[in-house]
């Protein structure tokens, strides 16, 4: 299993707790693709070179202004994530990288997208919303009931799994403060499987890695 190439320098980590909804202001293609992102972050505290997860994809800040910053994205990342479909006006989930000593409220997320999942159903469930997703077949073995998963950068718990289809439930707070509130059947989302599931699978497939 290979994750999409990351645009981050170093080994940034995230929690899957979204701290802002940004908006794509422009898409420029001088070589690699450059996205200019509008944000509510206090950018005086965001350094050039900082790592930010963009709907699950870790990218590096290369330029900034008063209420915007820019990131460069490789063709590999565009091909392996939803970023290839981004256009001006697109709303995206943002999370700054985890700082040493900060509380871990979600689960450990690397910002390396493993694949793209498709929303197959959305339906109300009381005040919450239940979603069903179709994952790429090669990722299905990493998704387990009651396990963790990141969808568009959001840390969620898997409710049920059947083959390559799985379901999650989101509460009103998540719907209001992330892009999942407007996500509909047929939409695509970035998927990152649980880090622990990835390492367990590696140990099972490669006994020599235990030594």
pLDDT tens-digit map of 78-101: 999 999 999 999 999 999 998 655
**pLDDT score, position 208:** 55
**pLDDT score, position 4:** 61
pTM of the model: 0.89
pLDDT bucket at 199, cuts 50 / 70 / 90:
low
pLDDT, tens only, 15-34: 999 999 999 999 998 788 99
Residues contacting residue 107 through CB under 8 Å, at least 6 positions apart? 15, 16, 148, 150, 155, 194, 195
Nearest CA to 11 among 145, 109, 155? 109
pLDDT, average across residues 170-178: 97
CATH tag, 115-205 = 2.40.30.20
CATH topology of domain 20-96: Elongation Factor Tu (Ef-tu); domain 3 (2.40.30)
> Which residues of the chain are in CATH 2.40.30.20 domains?
20-96, 115-205
């Amino acid at each position: 299993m290979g994750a999409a190439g990351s645009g981050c320098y170093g080994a940034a980590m995230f929690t899957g707790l979204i701290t802002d909804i940004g908006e794509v202001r422009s898409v420029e293609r001088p070589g690699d693709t450059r996205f200019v992102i509008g944000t509510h972050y206090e950018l005086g505290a965001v350094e050039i070179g900082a790592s930010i997860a963009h709907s699950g994809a870790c990218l590096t800040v290369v330029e900034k202004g008063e209420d915007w910053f820019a990131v460069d994205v490789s063709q590999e990342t565009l091909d392996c994530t939803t970023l290839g479909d981004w256009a001006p006006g697109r709303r995206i989930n943002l999370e700054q990288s985890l700082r040493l000593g900060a509380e871990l409220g979600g689960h450990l997320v690397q910002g390396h997208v493993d694949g793209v999942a498709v929303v197959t159903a959305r339906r109300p469930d009381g005040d919450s919303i239940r979603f069903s997703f179709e994952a790429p077949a090669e990722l299905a073995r990493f998704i387990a009931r009651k396990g963790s998963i990141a969808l568009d950068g959001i840390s969620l718990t898997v409710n049920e799994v059947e083959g390559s289809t799985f379901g999650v439930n989101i509460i009103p707070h998540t719907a209001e403060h992330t892009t999942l509130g407007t996500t509909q059947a047929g939409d695509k989302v970035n998927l990152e499987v649980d880090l622990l599931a990835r390492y367990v699978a590696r140990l099972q497939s490669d006994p020599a890695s235990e030594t």
